[in-house]
Structure 1
Amino acid sequence: MPLSGGNSTAERDTNGRVHWLVGVAEPLRGLAHKIRTLRGWRGRVVAFGAGALSVLAMAPFFIWAILFFTLPVLVWLIDGTVHLASADPAARPFKAKHLRSAGLTGWWFGAGYFLAGLFWIGEAFLVEAERFAWLMPFAVALMPAGLALFYGAATAAASLFWRPNLFRLLALALAFSAAEWLRGHILTGFPWNILGYALTWPLPLMQSAGIFGIYGLTFLALLIFAAPLVASADAAELRRPQAAMAGFLIALVPLSAAFVYGLVQLATPVPSPVEGVRLRLVQPSVPQRDKWRPEKQRDIFFDHLALSRQGPNGAEDNLVGITHVIWPEAAMPFLPLDTPAALQAIGQMLPDGTLLLAGALRADGPITPDAPRPRAFNSLIAFGSDGQPIAIYDKIHLVPFGEYLPLRPLLEGIGLQKLVGWRGGFSVGVSPRPLFEVPGLPPTGALICYEAIFPGAIVQSSRRPQVLINVTNDGWFGETTGPHQHFHQARVRAVEEGLPLIRVANNGITGVIDANGRVLARLNLNERGVIDTVLPGARPPPLYARFGDGLFALLWLAGAGLLWLVHRRA
């Protein structure tokens, strides 16, 4: 009899769990049904809004819990486009219009995501509003519209393998991670705010970037954030509580594993700082409107010199004990190598044994009436204590429409050559990326501006650098989310490569980042000052540094193989 009573208790517990799960999930079932049946402009507005809200998962907000709601909305909208309002597989005859509808759903989601995440690009057109303000609406609208095509392609591709079960989430994760990889490579690439960045905060979660890279984290993010609510709604619809449990496990297991792994990584001993190196990072906070005015160039240059002689407390110390001074991108908005007085002033500032690393412009020939357009470069130049250049890195990954003009013969005809920062635009430096060999520093990887956002592309030499130095000027984008997003992405590169990253910006954010992504020191937006710091040590190369996107490719292929098997058996 005790056995019989035990079975009754277990049965009651099971029934209770079923009723509880179905009861809790029932409102989700109703919500999912309403979203699936949205048509026309209502569905587009919801997709656009879900995409816009998803930006809250990025820097500087890091409210990644929002994706637990916005990604299920995207799934339910796609459900509706492929006639998955019911769980009956027979109700899903695939038609071309479903592919088109699914693609449009993804495009509207992407349009909201990129408009909310990249609106700050418009700030650049207000720096010289009298010349460029008229272009701002086009840039703010057209760039998100173009980038959203990748998300539209992703949802269209995923709909080809859509099924009324959790495997549709695998299809979405595969399609989105592939689309994000393509976004980072096609037409020079623009991997800004890749969805995987949602899994890089707080710091313990960021450590997984050293294994999977940001594209691998994107694959995981789509599964983790979409699964709980989608599975719960499915459970209520199918009266299968185990489906809800599966969804929560899909989220909980990898999140927990990543967090524990991160804690272990952060608990390992920190590499010792590089001996004999002490850096001074200079953030002058020059107003962007003044930066390129010829009449301001001399004042800007001498302001950099004066600030470099001051310690963090503002007292002049003449660089005693400092081995390397680092200025931001385009700190000298002229051609210092062709300006003997500038080289002399640099030599007078630097004591023996101290070097200056400065962002500057350089040309490969003199500017004359016969040669008004020599090749020009956006460079990082190392100057010895005599003021003479001893090492040069020329930027490789140029910003379209900012540093060079695509389709130049065509676009010059409508006056867009004024957008680029130099006569005719800058030229590309030597590729693959060479090491920046500076006396007194370990082998260095130099990165100028947004070169730091390209995962897997910042270390291309056969010799691994031991430090990354990123000089930038985010002053174009004011006090918006853009500089915060840029800074965070640079932190993730440090973790992927297992290298310290020294970041020096004109108006912020300047920072010292160790190989685990910790921010050891920083100067915030529009804060004028300097940071004196040792150089943190490098870690042994993590898996991503060794294999790049190879592990992501294996993960993707394994998922694609599983999805193909399920699709063929359905």
Structure 2
Amino acid sequence: MADTPARLMALPGWLRFLVLVGAGAVAGLGQAPFDLWPATIVSLAILFGVQARADTTKVAVFAVWSFGLGYFGFSLRWIVEPFLVDVARHGWMAPFALVLMAGGAALFWAVAGWLARRMAPGGMLFFGLMLVWAELTRSLVLTGFPWALLGHIWVPTALAQLAAFGGPHLLTLITVLAAWSLAAVWHNKIFPGLIVLAVLGGGAAFLRIGPAPEPRADAPLVRIVQPNAPQHLKWNPAYRDVFVNRLVDLTGQGAVPDLVVWPETAVPTLLNYIQSDLSLLDGAARGAPLVFGIQRQDATGGFFNSMVVMGPGGVIRDIYDKRHLVPFGEYIPGARLIADMGFTGLAGLVGTGFTPGAQEEHVMIPGIGPAVPLICYEGIFAEEINRGPARPRLLLLITNDAWFGQAAGPYQHLAQARLRAIEQGLPMVRAANTGVSAMIDAKGRIIDQIALGGVAAIDVRLPPVLPTPPYARWGEWPFAAVLILLTFVFYFRRFRFPD
């Protein structure tokens, strides 16, 4: 394996490009639903060698970009699904969306390769640190897109618990350290490589400390309802009552819970016009608080993607408006400049899409306490979860993953939800339109779930809250300080490993 990078660099340019794209795709197997994290580590180790052995900076940067194109193209393949909901109008955009998204994300990695070659030529570990910076930057700039982070490969493993200390980017650092250690062993730097591998292996063994404490017998009983409304039918007026009645029927079964949670946009009507339906919803909930997703319009004419908390008697107790909207899906960046072109986004609203919400704290669930409200896309942003001074009782995420199809997207979204629970030390109630709906405990374990594509309701006791983890207390700052220190150390000492 040690000469694999050299063999790759000896290939003709077009063939080397294809092989590197393929190697990147193999690295994507570490993401859900495959969860083959060794594939990511081995592929990245090869990339480290290629980047260090390239004859020129230009060749090295193109090699990294090619690998990233394969990685993101495979990991984000679900991105074509929203364009296939209405094939006649949007289907032609699907291949362009995938190529542009994958190629754009790979540019962050290419910049990392360029910086590594300029600042520490041949330094594989320094290149790894630049990759961590690239993933951190990708999570923040242009509203951020922290999907398929390299650290996400650890979600099914014990190492995921380290997210409680440094969030997803600490897991990304662990990923590149593991890949570098393997590359170092291949390149005859056996001692440092084995030391890092031993530390990572020992850490994983130490972290196998079991799940969070089981829910108390008198813990709130939560009913999570999944109607499975296909996206191409969800907004069809002919099916409006079909899906609402499905939710009502599933809600009204069995014992009365302490909380009922429906998915994002569960009621396909503006909140402004459902007064006559509130008694129907209240009757189904039978006095329990009901959380449901819906769209609404305010007095200024702005449209919002909202979460509503309804109490007994059909009284609206709280409303949360989604703050972090999906670019081009829920709003059009620079809409005023292109409104005349007729683009409104996949959300299908008139005008320029949704308006971002302003409130930044919690919603109150009667009888349970404060909850951190998250609507779909908001659940992928670890750094935006900490809200308000009070310690909440739970994370409450409603989503419509019908946009993501029936393959990788919903499972990758679920994996990120598990990380949010670990980072915050809080249980999460996750209600998804088509799945996967789940109760997740404060260590990221799925207590119960409704399968993708299922029509069902589950009753689950709310797991307990853990003591506030360091990440929930201090956010990204401690990890950022460590990353800055490591970057300076390896830059100034010029640690270079074999060419």
TM above 0.5, one fold?
Answer: yes
Contact 1:301 1:332 in 2 (8 A): yes
* TM score, norm. by length of structure 1: 0.83
Alignment length (residue pairs): 496
Taking the aligned partners of 2:100 and 2:201, their CA distance within structure 1 comes to 36
- Give 1:81-96 correspondences, 5 Å limit: 81=54, 83=55
Of residues 227, 243, 263, the one that matches 2:181 is 227
Task: Describe how 1:490-501 pairs up with structure 2 within 5 A.
Answer: 490-501=417-428
Rg larger in structure:
1
Q: Deviations over 1:103-155 (max 9, x none)?
A: 22221111111110111111111111122111112212111111111111111
1:53 is aligned to 26
- Output the CA distance in 1 between the equivalents of 2:206 and 2:242: 50
**Segment of structure 1 superposing worse, 484-493 or 105-114:** 105-114
Q: How does 1:173-212 map to 2 (within 5 A)?
A: 173-202=128-157, 204-212=158-166
The verdict on how the C-alpha distance between 1:283 and 1:561 changes in structure 2, with shifts beyond 3 A counting, is: same
In 2 relative to 1, CA 303–29 (structure 1 residues): closer, same or farther, beyond 3 Å?
closer
1:186 to 1:418, Cα distance in 2 relative to 1, 3 A: closer
Shift of residue 271 of structure 1?
A: 6.3
Is the 1:199–1:217 Cα contact (8 Å) retained in structure 2? yes
| CA distance 1:514–1:38, change in 2 (3 Å) | same
Select 2:225's aligned residue among 279, 282, 285: 282
Shift of 1:497: 0.8
Q: Retained in 1: the 8 A contact 2:120–2:496?
A: no
Residue correspondence of structure 1 range 165-564 to structure 2 within 5 A: 168-202=123-157, 204-228=158-182, 230-235=183-188, 243-257=189-203, 259-264=204-209, 266=210, 270=213, 272-273=215-216, 275=218, 277-310=220-253, 317=254, 320-352=255-287, 354-365=288-299, 374-417=301-344, 419-424=346-351, 425-431=353-359, 433-564=360-491
CA distances 1:425-472 after superposition (whole Å, capped 9, x unpaired): 1110115x2111121122110100021111121122222212001000
Match of 2:81 among 105, 113, 123: 123
Counterpart in the other structure of 1:71: 44
Task: Flag structure 1 segments of 5+ consecutive residues without an equivalent.
Answer: 1-27, 84-97, 236-242, 311-316, 366-372
Q: Which of 113, 119, 139 is residue 71 of structure 2 equivalent to? A: 113
Task: For 1:95-174, list aligned pairs within 5 A.
Answer: 98-164=56-122, 168-174=123-129
Q: Is the 8 A contact 2:128 2:180 kept in 1?
A: no
With CA pairs under 8 Å and 6+ residues apart, which has the higher RCO, 1 or 2?
2
CA distance in 2, matches of 1:548, 1:255: 26
Offset of residue 568 of structure 1:
9.3
Per-residue displacement from partner, 1:29-72 (whole Å, max 9, x unpaired)?
A: 33232124345223222221111111101111111111232112
Using the size of structure 2 for normalisation, the TM-score is 0.95
Q: Is the 8 A contact 2:49 2:124 kept in 1?
A: no
**Match of 1:10?**
none
Q: Is the 8 A contact 1:434 1:460 kept in 2?
A: yes
Structure 2: distance between partners of 1:213 and 1:405: 30
8 Å Cα contact 2:264/2:398 also seen in 1: yes
CA distance in 1, matches of 2:453, 2:215: 31
Deviation at 1:558, TM superposition (A): 2.2
Aligned to 1:4: none
Give, in whole Å, the separation in 1 of the partners of 2:354 and 2:406.
Answer: 27
Q: 1:129 to 1:474 in 2, by over 3 A?
A: same
TM-superposed CA distance for 1:385, in Å, is 1.8
CA shift digits 1:280-302 (9 cap, x unpaired):
11001112111011232233222
- Identity between Structure 1 and Structure 2 (%): 34
Following the alignment from structure 2 to structure 1, what is the Cα–Cα distance between the partners of residues 113 and 495?
20
Confirm or deny: 8 A CA contact 1:71 1:225 kept in the other structure.
Answer: yes
> Equivalent residue of 1:224, what SS?
helix
Secondary structure of 2:186's partner?
helix
Contact 1:459-1:465 within 8 A present in 2 as well: no
In structure 1, what residue type is equivalent to 2:87? A
Deviation at 1:388? 2.2
CA gap of 1:562–1:288, structure 2 versus 1, over 3 A, is same
Q: Please tell me the residue identity of whatever aligns with 2:45.
A: P
**TM-superposed deviation, 1:75:** 1.6
CA contact (8 A) 2:394 2:465 kept: yes
Contact 1:280-1:308 within 8 A present in 2 as well: yes
Which digits, 9 at most, give the CA deviation of each residue in 1:206-228, with x for residues without a partner?
11111121111111211112322
Deviations 1:319-360 (A, max 9, x none): x331211100000111134222112222333323x1110011
Stretches of structure 2 that go unaligned for 5 or more consecutive residues are: none
Q: CA deviation at 1:101?
A: 2.9
Asked if structure 2 preserves the Cα contact closer than 8 Å seen for 1:117 and 1:193, the reply is yes
Partner Cα distance (2:418, 2:281) in 1: 31
Assess if the C-alpha contact under 8 Å between 1:99 and 1:159 holds in 2: yes
- Tell whether the 8 Å contact from 2:108 to 2:135 is kept in structure 1 after alignment: yes
Cα distance change of structure 1 residues 276 and 248 upon mapping to structure 2, 3 Å threshold: closer
The CA distance in 1 between the partners of 2:301 and 2:496, in whole Å, is: 63
